Amino acid sequence: MMTMMVFTFVLLVGSALRELLPLLVNGQASFLMVAKAFALLIPFLFAFALPMAMLTSTVLVFGRFSADQELTAARASGVSLVSLAAPILMFGLLLCGLSAWINMQIAPTCRVAYNDLRSQMRVALANFRLPEGEYVDFPPAKPGESAYTIYTRKNDRYQNLKDVMLYEIEDATNNRTVLAPTGHFEVDTSSQQLILTLTNATSNIFPGGLSFFGTEAKFIVDLSSPGKNTVGVTDMTFDQLQNELRKRRISPPIPVNKGQLSDQAKKKKLQQRTTVDFTEPIRIQIHKQVAFSFACFGFTLIGIPLGIRVHRRETNVGVFIALGLVAIYYTIQVVGQSLASHSQYAPHLLMWVPNLIFEAIGAVLLWRANRGI
């Protein structure tokens, strides 16, 4: 349990330093919202911390068990290594069930809630996104909308602005710069919009010329995050992935028009692959969730004999071995995910390769260690 808490804390600190702490330090997030974000991140990180903790604990415990000659004493008493390892292996299988529940349901749900909370932060903290003397970018929230950059020389606590510049980009050829001596803004949290009102504003339009807005000009900036109402494949639960797979199977694959390709080499390469399979990323994620749920057993199986072979009192060696094995495991899965566009190689089956390798090597090493080889 302690090892799992350590790994969870390390992963949590890494995520916090990258995403949450900058918001808190800059005054762009309240402590309550950051604490809620932390709480939503913890179940998601449990999916990664649980197998790592099981592997590290197994290597450290059996390494110390061997270094203190307790394994020799057990063998002298007629107790085999397999008998000693059986309860640990059974516990690893139980953790596989817990890991499956986390990977398939809890972690994706918490991840989606975490992303939604970050979107809410953006709206709730819009008052702080117009600091004095800084250029603040507002990318388009939806396709076809304009992107804005807002600068203000002075911004008091009542949201009154002085010397405001607004730069609006509609597309690559149409943009305008709006200048105003004063203005103010407010945030509509229900519609997730920043309403900026400028007084005596002038605009330099390109292409075009100078124009005047009159006494007041109002600009509305959409603060909603792009794709907020959509859930990415990596954030779907197991049931959602199954439904998405059924939807994509109904639609036929999109044919590749080889006639539009001028490169003869590309035409030859596509002779055996004339369609784009959009179901492969879904299958990869499904197999990844299920396969990763069995990582606890594979890590346990290989961790027991490795700990005995290392048989060192120092914990640093065991930790480095565990981290190295975890890196190998994730590297193989990342390679499989990178082949999502090459369905002819069945990359979804690569999600199972780390488990098969670890379990096969672990079984052989455990058998050899049990025989004293």
The β-bridge relationship of strands 175-188 and 160-169 is antiparallel
**CA–CA separation, 164 vs 167, rounded Å?**
10
Single-letter amino acid code for the residue at 304: I
Q: Is 128 left (phi over 0), alpha (psi -120 to 50) or beta?
A: alpha
List the chain pLDDT tens, one digit each, 373 residues: 677 777 777 777 766 666 666 666 655 566 777 778 878 888 888 888 888 888 888 888 888 888 888 888 888 888 888 888 899 999 999 989 998 999 888 988 888 888 777 666 655 554 445 777 777 777 776 767 788 888 888 888 667 888 888 888 876 567 788 888 899 888 776 666 788 889 888 876 555 455 556 678 888 887 765 444 456 777 788 888 888 888 777 644 444 444 444 454 444 444 444 344 567 888 888 999 899 889 889 999 998 888 888 765 555 676 787 788 888 888 888 888 788 777 777 888 888 998 999 999 989 988 888 887 6
Closest to 84 measured CA to CA, from 305, 339, 309 = 305
Closest to 296 measured CA to CA, from 90, 155, 148 = 90
Residue with tokens 């609006």: 168
Q: What is the torsion angle, in degrees rounded to the nearest 10, for the CA atoms of residue 154, residue 156, residue 159 and residue 162?
A: -30
| All residues at 6 or more sequence positions from 178 whose CB lies less than 8 Å from its CB, including other chains | 164, 165, 166, 167, 168, 198, 201, 202, 203, 213, 217, 219
Please give the pLDDT value at position 54. 87
The β-bridge relationship of strands 254-255 and 275-276 is antiparallel
Please give the pLDDT value at position 231. 66
The gap from C-alpha 38 to its chain's centroid, in whole angstroms, comes to 14
Q: Please state, in angstroms and as integers, the Cα–Cα distance from residue 15 to each residue in 22, 34, 118, 183, 328, following that order.
A: 11, 12, 13, 37, 22
Angle subtended at Cα 25 by Cα 223 and Cα 38, rounded to the nearest 5 degrees: 75
- For residue 361, the SS3 value is helix
Retrieve residue 319's tokens: 């930790």
Please give the pLDDT value at position 266. 46
Q: What is the DSSP string of 282-350?
A: HHHHHHHHHHHHTHHHHHHHHHHHHHHHH--S-HHHHHHHHHHHHHHHHHHHHHHHHTTT-GGG-GGGG
Please give the pLDDT value at position 229. 45
Closest to 231 measured CA to CA, from 142, 113, 140 = 113
Please give the pLDDT value at position 172. 59
Q: Where do the H-state alpha helices sit in the chain? A: 2-15, 21-25, 31-67, 70-76, 81-101, 107-124, 238-250, 264-269, 280-293, 295-310, 315-338, 353-370
For residue 138, what are the β-bridge partners?
148
For residue 205, what are the β-bridge partners?
176
Query: Residues 190, 178: contact at Cβ < 8 Å?
Result: no
